[in-house]
Amino acid sequence: MPFGGNDWLALTEEPVIEPDLPICDPHHHFWDRRPERIPYHRYLLHELAADINGGHNVRSTVFIEARSMYRADGPDELKPVGEVEFVQGLAAASASGLYGSGRAAASIIGHANLNLGDGVKPVLEALQAASPNRFRGIRHSLTWDPDPELENTSAYKHLGEEQMRTPKYREGAQVLASMGLTLEGWVYFHQLPRLAEFATSVPDLTIILNHIGGLVREGHYESNADEVVEQWKKGIAAVAQCPNVVVKLGGLGMPRNGFDWHLRDTPIGSEELASQMSPFIEYCIEHFGTERAMFESNFPVDKVSFSYNVMYNAFKRLSKSYSADERAAMFHDNAANIYRVEY
């Protein structure tokens, strides 16, 4: 049975824990006809609704760009506007209530090339025009590694890992900040010191660190996983010192994290999942505080390792020691505030 498929995930079912706890899921994607994302070639509103309507109180979600449905024609810098136009339609369909009470893509994060410097402004204005009531910022992925065997998902990867240090990139980031928009920080663990340096240079820009800072324990990192974790810890501590950075608690289901949950004959349950995720998530909360942390699904990417219900059960289990207000912040309020979710 292929890993991650719905039939495989159905082998581990469990009742929903604390079904009334409000959730704003701040990180998921939509795409179609994407064969490299095995087994999820398609993940649109029907598929998301099936996941978020499984029993947890998911009041809203935030769409994060995935290089999906770009325009086929026109200037290259404006092609990503097609993705926001596409998601705006899905969000409007969700708002009809036909797909459940939760509001999918209540806020939308698109893509623009910050290497354009001041020239990124008309692109950001076009993205705003495509979604006047939901567009909140961009992601400009910077995940880069010298190992060609690892997946380099960096936008404009031919520019290498130094984009954050270039005057043009920082100029573009200043434009983003001046327009009141946010930036998703998607980097690998060894790039965290650069992200901290960059965040200090644009203190008025809210940066959301994706997937607890890009842990990688596969490829040439697999043999020195302990050293990787120590380097990751130092990077997280450095980034957490920047008050304009918040962290998303999730993304651990991606195989590159090295847990190998996707290789099991039977999917992992929430109790064991909470136990294995807890040291990494707790470390992030310890450094960022509950006021700058939020649980994320990263679906359907993380769906190769566990179901939506099991994942949020695990988040609830590992967060039981926090107060009601702290948990409300990490499960819903922080995300709803940062992404200006409107109900």
CATH number of the structural domain spanning residue 295: 3.20.20.140
Whether residue 15 has a cis bond before it, omega within 30° of 0: no
**Mean pLDDT, range 232-243, rounded to an integer:** 98
Q: What is the pLDDT of residue 153?
A: 72
The per-residue pLDDT for 13 is: 96
Least confident range from 43-47, 218-222, 286-290, 315-319: namely: 218-222
The predicted pLDDT at position 119 comes to 98
Residue 141: its H or E element:
none
Calculate what percentage of the chain has a pLDDT beyond 70: 96
Instruction: Taking residues 154-162, report their average pLDDT.
Output: 72
What mean pLDDT is predicted for residues 296-309?
Answer: 96
pLDDT of residue 149: 77
Residue 37 lies in a domain: yes
Q: How far, in Å, CA of 210 to CA of 249, rounded? A: 8
The whole-model pTM stands at 0.96
Please, are residues 299 and 29 in contact by the beta-carbon 8 Å criterion?
Answer: yes
Count of domains for the chain: 1
pLDDT tens per residue across span 133-144: 999 999 999 998
Does pLDDT of 161 surpass 80? no
Establish if 262 belongs to a structural domain. Answer: yes
pLDDT, the chain, mean: 94
Provide the domain limits for residue 194.
6-338
pLDDT band at 5 (very low <50, low <70, confident <90, very high): confident
Helices 167-178, 192-201: inter-axial angle, 10-degree rounding: 60
CB atoms within 10 A of CB 19: 12
Provide CB contacts within 8 A for 113, sequence distance 6+.
Answer: 77, 120, 123, 140, 155, 156, 172
Phi and psi torsions of 44, nearest 5°: -120, -160
End-to-end CA distance of the chain, in Å? Answer: 40
Given a cut of 70, whether residue 90 has pLDDT beyond it is: yes
Q: In the structure, what pLDDT confidence band is assigned to residue 83 with cuts at 50, 70 and 90?
A: very high
At 247, the pLDDT band (50, 70, 90 cuts) reads: very high
Q: Is the pLDDT of residue 4 over 80?
A: no
Share of the chain above pLDDT 90, in %: 88
Residue 78 placed within a domain: yes
Residue 39's pLDDT is 64
Residue 107 lies in a domain: yes
The pLDDT of residue 1 is 36
- Look at residue 343 and tell me whether its pLDDT is greater than 90: no
Least confident stretch, 39-48, 109-118, 191-200, 210-219: 39-48
Residue 1 lies in a domain: no
53: Cβ contacts below 8 Å, ≥ 6 apart: 99, 100, 102
Asked whether residue 84 is assigned to any structural domain, the reply reads yes
Burial of 324 by CB count in 10 Å (0-12 exposed, 13-18 middle, 19+ buried)?
A: exposed
For residue 343, being part of any structural domain is answered with: no
